[in-house]
Amino acid sequence: MKQETAIFAAGCFWGVEYYLQKADGVIATTVGYTGGHVENPTYKQVCTGNTGHAEAVKVLFDPEKTNFETLCRLFFETHDPTQVNRQGPDIGIQYRSEIFYTNETQKEVAEKLIKMLKDKGHNVATELTPASTFWEAEGYHQDYYEHKGTLPYCHGYHKMF
């Protein structure tokens, strides 16, 4: 089976994972930390805002069943991409909106979608950054809402496209 990877940060990784793992064609999701300067950071370290990492979700998907653009649209429609370093009540650099692209095609798709949103009047703050080391978060963060049996508190679906 062919597989591709996408990495998204959009506030608390629990809510981001909740929506992305339900998308058709998604094989697996992993929450973790990326975009910072500390090796193998812990949740406690990332929460200080001093590591530079974002809480992020790595998505493994089947390109024969979905594509990066579909997942990227879902990313934008399940958080507020106009907020800077926050999402709902969660405030800090670790909660920024960012796409960590794995290739130039992903970057181009993200740029196209950001332009579409800006053309519609949205002041998109989402950053685009080449993917770097992704550090898997502690086990109790994985599939958080699936285990808890509740819904995300700062993410929801809002059609934007």
Q: Is 72 a catalytic residue?
A: no
> What are the angstrom distances between the C-alpha of 56 and each of 34, 36, 95, 115?
7, 11, 9, 23
| Catalytic position from the list 12, 47, 72, 154 | 12
3-state secondary structure of 51: coil
Amino acid at 90: D
The number of beta carbons lying within 10 Å of the beta carbon of residue 51 is 20
> Exposed/middle/buried for 31, CB within 10 Å: 0-12, 13-18, 19+?
buried
**β-bridge partners, 9:** 98
Q: Which residues are marked as active site?
A: 12
